[in-house]
C-alpha cells in the first residue's frame, strides 16, 4: 500500500497493510530474551539513523540518536480506579472483587491489573479491576489470569466496568478510546465485546 502525506493509523489502515504472524516459540523466545534484544535493536537503529544523517550531510553527535530512543517507562497509577471504587462504596454500592466476587471495603480493596503489569505495563481503565487485597497480593499476584479465571470473572468485570466508567462521560470516553486502541474489538462499544477482546 503506497501512502503520500499524513496517515491516521486506524485499525482499517493497519489491516490494509496485511498482518504479521510470529510463531509462538519465537514469540516466547523474544519475551524471554527481550532484555538483551532491545539494546541490540536500539543500537542498530541508532547506527542506521547516524548513517542516514551522514549521507544527508547532517550532524549527528555520538549518543544523540540513542538518547532520543530511550524507552519511557509507563507510570503505574491506580489512583483513579481506587477513587472511583471509593466513590461507589460511599454511594452504597461497593465494588466486588472480580476474582472472588467478594464485596470490598476500602481497607480490603486493591486495584489489580487484570493483565499484570509485569507482562504488559498497561494502566488503561479496561485493565484496572477491584480485587480483594489478599487475592491480588497472594493468589493472582503478577500472573496472567487463566481462561477459566477470566470466564468466572466475566460478570464481576462487566458490572465493574459499567458502574465505574458509565457514570462519567469523560471516563466512559477514555475507557472506550483505550479499549479500542489496545483490544481486538471493532467499532462495537458493548462491554461484552470489550470483555471478549480481553
Residues in the chain: 198
Q: Average pLDDT over the chain, rounded to whole?
A: 89
Segments forming the whole domain that contains residue 114: 79-197
Q: In this structure, are 161 and 126 located in the same domain?
A: yes
Give 41's contacts (C-beta < 8 A, 6+ positions apart). none
Inform me whether the pLDDT recorded for 184 exceeds 80.
yes
Q: In this structure, are 112 and 169 located in the same domain?
A: yes
* Residue range 66-89: mean pLDDT, rounded: 86
Q: In this structure, are 92 and 136 located in the same domain?
A: yes
* Per-residue cell: 103: 464485596
| Confidence grade of residue 100 (pLDDT, cut at 50, 70, 90) | very high
**What Å distances lie between residue 49 and 44, 59, 87, CA to CA?**
9, 11, 50
Q: In this structure, are 96 and 185 located in the same domain?
A: yes
Q: Is 158 exposed, middle or buried (0-12, 13-18, 19+ CB in 10 A)?
A: middle
Residues 134-179: pLDDT tens digits?
A: 999 999 988 999 999 999 999 999 999 999 999 899 999 999 999 9
Q: In this structure, are 161 and 86 located in the same domain?
A: yes
- pTM value is 0.67
| Confidence grade of residue 79 (pLDDT, cut at 50, 70, 90) | very high
Following DSSP, what letter does each residue of 140-158 receive, concatenated?
ITTSPPPHHHHHHHHHHHH
Give how many domains the chain has, as a whole number: 2
Amino acid at each position: 500500500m503506497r501512502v503520500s502525506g499524513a496517515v491516521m493509523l486506524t485499525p482499517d489502515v493497519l489491516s490494509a497493510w496485511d498482518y504479521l504472524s510470529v510463531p509462538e516459540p519465537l514469540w516466547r523466545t523474544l519475551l524471554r530474551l527481550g532484555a538483551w534484544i532491545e539494546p541490540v535493536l536500539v543500537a542498530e537503529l541508532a547506527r542506521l539513523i547516524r548513517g542516514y544523517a551522514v549521507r544527508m550531510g547532517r550532524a549527528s553527535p555520538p549518543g544523540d540518536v540513542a538518547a532520543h530512543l530511550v524507552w519511557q517507562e509507563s507510570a503505574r497509577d491506580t489512583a483513579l480506579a481506587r477513587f472511583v471504587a471509593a466513590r461507589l462504596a460511599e454511594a452504597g454500592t461497593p465494588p466486588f472483587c472480580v476474582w472472588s466476587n467478594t464485596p470490598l471495603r476500602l481497607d480490603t480493596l486493591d486495584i489489580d491489573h487484570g493483565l499484570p503489569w509485569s507482562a504488559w505495563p498497561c494502566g488503561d481503565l479496561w485493565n484496572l479491576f477491584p480485587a480483594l487485597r489478599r487475592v491480588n497480593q497472594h493468589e493472582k499476584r503478577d500472573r496472567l489470569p487463566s481462561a477459566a479465571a477470566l470466564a468466572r470473572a466475566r460478570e464481576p468485570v462487566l458490572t465493574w466496568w459499567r458502574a465505574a466508567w458509565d457514570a462519567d462521560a469523560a471516563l466512559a470516553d477514555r475507557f472506550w478510546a483505550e479499549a479500542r486502541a489496545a483490544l481486538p474489538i471493532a467499532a462495537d462499544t458493548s462491554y461484552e465485546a470489550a470483555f471478549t477482546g480481553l
